[in-house]
Chain A
């Protein structure tokens, strides 16, 4: 499609999609802005996926610029006392340039996901499903059973789950998500123990270490994090070890959030050592610093600076990435995102000099 056609069609596509769209995604800046834990808005205590009734009401009443009246009924995802559903659709138009290559403009259905939570014993025992239904065929993201203690101070999960390790960002291509290999595209099969006590949160998971694929050896992946959450700040420490025959991969991350007036700050620094890469070439460092400035209700300006040293044994091979994203939530359950991402790296590698411009429609319920 030519660029002029793209521009002509795009606004109409947005309007159409505004009425078709549906779902939720982890946005840790919202947790920092509200001073709450991820589990306040998401069924999953580590964030992302199906929203709680509070999360749904927050999305309808506090997050958007305007609220369209739906009468006496308010969507909370609860079909009945035992069953909740939700969903997420992201569709975008992109224009990407890479030196030495032809520019590319495209539409892409990034994802459509459906969530289901059956609390077969209310507040205690649940079966949770996160299924990506598009693009392509159905793809299971998370499916687990979760048992909560009576005091809700600990839980046990088993199944396919996202691993607990650092900030769970919306942007799965962020350096801190890709370097560790732990993100929302790489759930793994295993068990997770979670502990929540006042301001403390901790999770520890043991999984196959195959990103959901079949197990090939006796080695397992161990992931954990410990987070302290105060209303204005939070600090966490994450660690991961994937014991694999091809070579162990370990990662540690220090992450946190800070609220200064209308700005929520997120930061993470992580060190990764991937022994499967020869000659100590797998020693990596990735950082992220993000500012989310709530300009007005429903208007968020997100500025992100990222740094990656893909091989700490090699000098002057660093990559950087800057993102500027404007997020407009005009009405409940609908978000429009416009952004640019500038990547820079070594001059010899054109792939490290990508310029990405995108406009995204995000619908959720």
Chain B
């Protein structure tokens, strides 16, 4: 999501607490319309599909409801949401990235409308929708509160916003080696801080998800966290996500400067599918990732 550099957040009306002031070029994590991580999104959606679908089901959507998927990425959730509100419901997805929109069109089929848009300037009429669904999106914003305000304005009275966020607590990759897991996580954070010029606090801002919903003056804020848990032997979608999106996509050579040589060598062995120590083929492999769904209602 691209966004504004600063925010002025002031109550104006029930559906408009925030007013964008200035415009910057890219989001907190470098999102622009040209950025493309569709492959990683597809891997995550396939991997976490059971938990994400349960999260959708927990929202008790009814046929006829109108739903927006803000930051729909490659559009996997559009089909799930559509199933929940058919035959008379309406699902609209939007995302900033051109490549994601292209994939979302293919995934959503004819039932859902998909738009390319900035989350802070959604091209939709206000007070029109029953639910905003937004997963792993708000953490891409420099100012999550402004993003929530922008989305909340789309809700009709009684409408809800559901923010999903994975990994609010550290993931467990290497159940047998807590130290290596810790230094790897620290290396990842250092990499992101340096790449995007962030400090520790801004990278961790998303932990305040519940507070963001409260500061947006939304009501009935609830939060529920489940664990996405996988043990050996892994299903193909699980192995593909961990190998391609995490081991190769998020770790790999980029972590070498941030790890001691012996730690990097150990990590490389665990992440190499050709190596006998390949983590995902260990009998004791046990993966944990949190998924938090925070829901709030507009009065």
Contacts and interface: CB of A to CB of B under 8 A. Distances in A.
Interface of A: 34-37, 39-40, 52-54, 57-58, 61-62, 67, 71-72, 74, 76, 122-123, 150-153, 196-199, 231-232, 259, 261-262, 297
B13 A35 contact: no
Contact of B121 (A57, A122, A232): A122
B123 A72 contact: no
Given A37-B128, A40-B128, A54 B113 contact: yes
Given A35-B66, A150-B16, A53 B126 contact: no
B110 A61 contact: yes
A100 to B, nearest CB: 48
A74 B116 contact: yes
Nearest to A231: B64
Given A35-B66, A40-B125, A261-B88, 5 more contacts: A35-B88, A61-B113, A151-B12, A151-B16, A152-B126
Interface stretch (B97-105, B185-193, B273-281): B97-105
B141 to A, nearest CB: 19
Interface string B1-45: 000000000001111100100000000000000000000000000
Contacts of A152: 16, 126, 153
Contacts of B116: 74, 76
Contacts of B12: 150-151
A76 B115 contact: yes
A37 B92 CA distance: 15
Contacts of A58: 113
Contact of B13 (A39, A61, A151): A151
Residue of B12, B88, B112, B124 with highest tally of chain A CB at under 10 A: B88
Contact of A72 (B98, B108, B127): B98
Please give me the 9 A-B residue pairs with the lowest Cβ-Cβ distance, nearest first: A151-B16, A40-B125, A53-B123, A72-B102, A57-B113, A198-B127, A151-B13, A151-B12, A39-B125
A74 B101 contact: yes
A57 B125 contact: no
In this complex, which of B12, B65, B110, B114 has the most chain A Cβ atoms within 10 angstroms of its Cβ?
B110
Interface in B86-100: 87-88, 90, 92, 98-99
14 contacts: A36-B128, A40-B128, A53-B117, A54-B113, A57-B115, A72-B102, A76-B115, A150-B16, A196-B126, A196-B127, A199-B127, A231-B65, A261-B88, A297-B110
A198 B15 contact: yes
Contact of B115 (A36, A53, A72, A261): A53
A67 B87 CA distance: 19
Contact of A57 (B65, B114, B157): B114
A67 B110 contact: yes
Contact of A74 (B13, B64, B105): B105
Contacts of B66: 34-36, 231
Contacts of B121: 122-123
Contact of B90 (A35, A52, A196): A35
Contacts of B64: 35, 231-232
B15 A40 contact: no
Contacts of B128: 36-37, 40
B110 A62 contact: yes
B219 interface: no
A35 B130 CA distance: 11
Contact of A61 (B65, B102, B112): B112
Nearest to A151: B16
Given A76-B115, A122-B121, A231-B66, A199 B156 contact: yes
Nearest to A64: B110
A139 B257 CA distance: 68
A297 B86 CA distance: 13
Nearest to A40: B125
A2 B121 CA distance: 55
Contacts of B252: none
A76 B116 CA distance: 9
B198 to A, nearest CB: 28
A61 to B, nearest CB: 5
A54 B116 CA distance: 10
B23 to A, nearest CB: 10
A199 B130 CA distance: 12
Interface in B120-172: 121, 123-128, 130, 153, 156-157
A153 B114 contact: no
A61 B16 contact: no
A61 B99 CA distance: 18
Nearest to A45: B125
B110 A40 contact: no
A62 B88 CA distance: 12
A74 B117 CA distance: 12
A54 B90 contact: no
Contacts of A199: 127, 156-157
A58 to B, nearest CB: 5
B249 interface: no
A54 B123 contact: yes
A231 B89 CA distance: 9
A123 B23 CA distance: 14
A40 B114 contact: no
B125 A62 contact: no
Nearest to A38: B125
Contacts of A151: 12-13, 15-16
A332 to B, nearest CB: 10
A34 B19 CA distance: 29
Nearest to A59: B113
B123 A52 contact: yes
